[in-house]
Structure formats: C-alpha cells, structure tokens
C-alpha cells in the first residue's frame, strides 16, 4: 500500500510505494484562505476517497486529475489536488501556491501520478509535517 508525504517546510509532496520506493516528488503548498479553518495539521491521516473531476482544466479549482480526500479529525473536505494554474489568488499566487480552504495543492503532474499509483498500489494515508 502506498502513501503520500507532505513536507510543509520543504514545500514538497512525495508518493511512496508500498515497498518504500519514492515514486516521485513535486512542489506543493498548504497556503490557506483567511476564511478557512486553518492549515492542515501535522500527523498521519487515513485515505478516504478519490473523486474524479473529468474534463476539469489545469486552471480549475481542483485541476485536471481530481481530488484525493483524507480523514482529518474536526475537518471536512480535506485533500490533495492541483488547479489554479495561471489564476492568481488575493496575494497574487497561482498554481500550487494558490490558497485553499485547508487542502494541500500540488501540480497536475503530481496528481496524475497519484491516480496512476492509486490504481495499482492503493494510497492508504498521508503524513503531513513541518
């Protein structure tokens, strides 16, 4: 079973295969909107569901490859997705740096790999840390 690791300080998202091999590493951020319930807390969180967003372009809210949701106590709708390529937020950030309501935003390349990995080696958790 594979897992996802997000390093807040390194601004990197990794996908790690069940055998421990690092499949890849991509830019990612957890910049949150002032109206959100705050950043994703540190810890290990179980995978909940994958929600496909067919036809969504890279500049859409969730990007081209859907949403990977995780169970975060006290929070709803927490996940990993891409989106907002070329679309600035209120601070002028776009792409993976664009703010979210608590989610981790990464690149379309990263979420495409999450889809590929999950289909052969299901994702079971995400580890979030500083």
Give the number of domains in the chain: 1
Q: What is the pLDDT of residues 18-42, one digit of tens each?
A: 999 999 999 999 999 999 999 999 9
Q: What is the pLDDT of residues 3-23, one digit of tens each?
A: 999 999 999 999 999 999 999
Tell me, what CATH number does 47's domain have? 2.40.440.10
Does the global pTM surpass 0.75? yes
Q: How far apart are CA 117 and CA 114, in angstroms?
A: 5
Domain that holds residue 44: 2-129
């Amino acid at each position: 079973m594979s897992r996802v690791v997000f390093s807040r300080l390194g601004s990197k998202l990794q996908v790690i295969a069940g055998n421990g091999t690092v499949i890849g590493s991509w830019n990612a951020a957890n910049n949150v909107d002032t109206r959100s319930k705050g950043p994703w807390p540190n810890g290990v969180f179980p995978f909940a569901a994958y929600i496909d967003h067919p036809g969504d372009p890279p500049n859409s809210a969730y990007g081209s490859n859907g949403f990977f949701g995780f169970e975060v106590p006290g929070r709803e709708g927490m996940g990993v997705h891409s989106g907002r390529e070329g679309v600035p937020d209120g601070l002028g950030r776009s792409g993976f740096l664009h703010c979210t309501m608590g989610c981790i935003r990464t690149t379309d390349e990263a979420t495409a790999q999450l889809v590929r990995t999950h289909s052969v080696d299901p994702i079971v958790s995400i580890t979030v840390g500083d």
